[in-house]
Homo-oligomer: A and B are copies of this chain.
């Protein structure tokens, strides 16, 4: 007989999930804060008690802690009809912790600050061609943007509790950028290069800097900012390479080694065009930006990535036949690859982000056509294909939002810091 309890790969936290006496309050702080964060309008203590099953006494005590720690504030009492003491609404504080989102891409650097409520309080994009620049230099420039963002946050009464950096490549745990081909980076230890810069305040339980693939952070941004409805979706970002952020059941899926999302190397013509990855017939050889530019007669123009997308959108909007054909062919190839993914993962939404977002009007029809004919369940349940809600800044915003999410998921770290 074969034992089935050797569960593989799942490593437990150090206390293995044990619930200590102190865990009660810690977890209930998170539950109540989450309830305030996700409410459609400011809830009262009594409403929170009704929804969570905790008593009004407990909710009152927990809310006292959250108010004391500047995570929550009271709104004015709501006007009411009928007898009864007016309820005090509770909202997320606008002057407590915030997340710092950073991004290095081929032709720009970005920094933004997102507060607890998810509001973007600062956002700067600095244009620069970063391919000829060393990683140390690029990160030094980024640190300057981060310092500006930190100062701007302080002026607004916000404390940066952590940072997340988006890069266009494969990132190991620990922040080592294994390969970012578009930047020419290989084995770049980003945390080490940024170690001399104080980006944020130390908060227990929040790593000071998380380095993550930009498609993954963009998907996180989209998860929170997108229209309601889908907890599983694919967000595709098409530049030279084609990457994807994958959200399954409301959570970002990073893969066994953190290298998920390489949709550009799905074979769409198995013995087709050679690819720089060593394979043949990869999606990026049929729907990558270089291919579309060449087919549109723009090969060798050496445009920055987002300028290239804008240029293609302008040509397509003007009715240029070569550009429209190139985008239709790219959309068809993309549709073939995505159809396979949808069949395998049973996704109901596909988001066109990155360089594909401005080209969505011309990419979407052939993608939808391929999905209609190749997805097994398409007749019952069509797949939604839409452009990204956040547009170009989704990676930095997603990164900042992920920092803020850690505070909401575990408020005691912040409360210990500020109390």
Indicate if the CB atoms of A2 and B336 lie closer than 8 Å.
no
**CB of A223 within 8 A of chain B?**
yes
Interface segment, one of A255-263, A293-301, A353-361: A255-263
**CB of A373 within 8 A of chain B?**
yes
Indicate if the CB atoms of B256 and A346 lie closer than 8 Å.
yes
What's the nearest-Cβ distance from chain B to residue A309, in Å?
21
What's the nearest-Cβ distance from chain B to residue A371, in Å?
10
What's the nearest-Cβ distance from chain B to residue A313, in Å?
22
0 or 1 for each of A329-361: is its CB under 8 Å from B? (1 = yes): 000000011011101111110000000000000
Copies of this chain: 2
**CB of A302 within 8 A of chain B?**
no
**CB of A73 within 8 A of chain B?**
no
Indicate if the CB atoms of A53 and B340 lie closer than 8 Å.
no
Indicate if the CB atoms of A31 and B18 lie closer than 8 Å.
yes
Indicate if the CB atoms of B253 and A248 lie closer than 8 Å.
yes
The residue in chain B whose Cβ has the minimal distance to the Cβ of A254 is B346
Choose from B53, B178, B248 the contact partner of A18 (Cβ within 8 Å). Answer: B53
Indicate if the CB atoms of B261 and A344 lie closer than 8 Å.
yes
Indicate if the CB atoms of A23 and B31 lie closer than 8 Å.
no
Indicate if the CB atoms of B16 and A52 lie closer than 8 Å.
yes
Known A19-B27, A19-B31, A28-B18; contact A345-B267, beta-carbon cutoff 8 A: no
What's the nearest-Cβ distance from chain B to residue A175, in Å?
17
The residue in chain B whose Cβ has the minimal distance to the Cβ of A229 is B8
Indicate if the CB atoms of B346 and A389 lie closer than 8 Å.
no
For this complex, into which size category does the number of interface residues on chain A fall? 35 or more
Prevailing SS type, chain A contact patch:
loop
**CB of A54 within 8 A of chain B?**
yes
What's the nearest-Cβ distance from chain B to residue A256, in Å?
5
Indicate if the CB atoms of B3 and A117 lie closer than 8 Å.
yes
Known A18-B53, A374-B278; contact A266-B343, beta-carbon cutoff 8 A: yes
Highest count of chain B CB atoms <10 Å: which of A118, A229, A256:
A256
The residue in chain B whose Cβ has the minimal distance to the Cβ of A25 is B19
> Which residues of chain B are near A23, meaning CB under 8 Å?
19, 24
> Which residues of chain B are near A3, meaning CB under 8 Å?
117-119, 225
Indicate if the CB atoms of A230 and B9 lie closer than 8 Å.
yes
Indicate if the CB atoms of B345 and A253 lie closer than 8 Å.
yes
Indicate if the CB atoms of B253 and A52 lie closer than 8 Å.
no
* A277 vs B57: C-alpha distance when bound (angstroms): 58
Indicate if the CB atoms of A16 and B346 lie closer than 8 Å.
no
* A373 vs B24: C-alpha distance when bound (angstroms): 52
Indicate if the CB atoms of B376 and A277 lie closer than 8 Å.
yes
Docked complex: A198-256 residues within 8 A CB-CB of B: 221, 223-232, 244, 246, 248-250, 253-256
Docked complex: A378-398 residues within 8 A CB-CB of B: 380-381, 389-390, 397
Known A16-B51, A343-B262; contact A9-B255, beta-carbon cutoff 8 A: no
> Which residues of chain B are near A344, meaning CB under 8 Å?
244, 246, 260-263, 266, 341
> Which residues of chain B are near A79, meaning CB under 8 Å?
none
Highest count of chain B CB atoms <10 Å: which of A15, A268, A374:
A374
Indicate if the CB atoms of A279 and B232 lie closer than 8 Å.
no
